[in-house]
Amino acid sequence: MSKALILYFSVYGTAKMTAEEIAKQTGADLVEIEPVIPYDNDRNHYNALARYAKKEHDEDMRPEIKNTISIENYDYIFIGYPMWWYTFPMIIYTLFDKYDFSGKTIIPFNTHEGSSDGGTYDQIKEIERDATILEGLPIRGGDIGNSDSPEQVKDWLNGLGY
């Protein structure tokens, strides 16, 4: 396959661990999507983060991305995120607003605690009509790090022909 990039956004580390496993199995480059204003990653403050994420969603906010991301030299781009309010975090909308994925192949993956992909893979198809969207991997956050998660990633990648 052509050169691949893994872009991921993670607050509690589950999307990051999944992204790292994909990188380990594929050799793809790995880049974190960093917000200008960091989110509180203390799980004890989960309710405050959930309220803020809902506010971002309800107000259609677009959090700024701190780091410059270069996608030009990549044909395949994995995009990973946790599920927030049954959709992606608003910073993922910022990513799609800011970068042109035309002609790229997007391979989504997400972490969740019961909502699977929440329809986000179809949302990506709507947003990025000039990109090819492959089957995504929804993985339960509580399963990440157990002995089955690398196997889930491997089976998914094999199913994609990767």
Give the pLDDT confidence of 61-77 residue by residue, as tens digits: 999 999 999 999 999 99
Model confidence at 128, pLDDT cuts 50, 70, 90, reads: very high
State residue 89's pLDDT score.
97
State residue 150's pLDDT score.
92
Q: Which residues pair with 5 in a beta bridge?
A: 29, 77
Query: What residue type is assigned to position 141 of the chain?
Result: G
State residue 136's pLDDT score.
97
The answer on pLDDT for 29 being more than 90 is yes
Query: What CATH number corresponds to the domain at position 28?
Result: 3.40.50.360
State residue 143's pLDDT score.
79
pTM score, whole prediction: 0.94
Percent helix, percent strand, percent coil in the chain, to nearest 5: 40, 20, 40
Q: 140 is in which domain, residue-wise?
A: 4-160
On the 0-12 / 13-18 / 19+ scale of CB atoms within 10 A, 121 is buried
Number of structural domains the chain divides into = 1
Model confidence at 145, pLDDT cuts 50, 70, 90, reads: confident
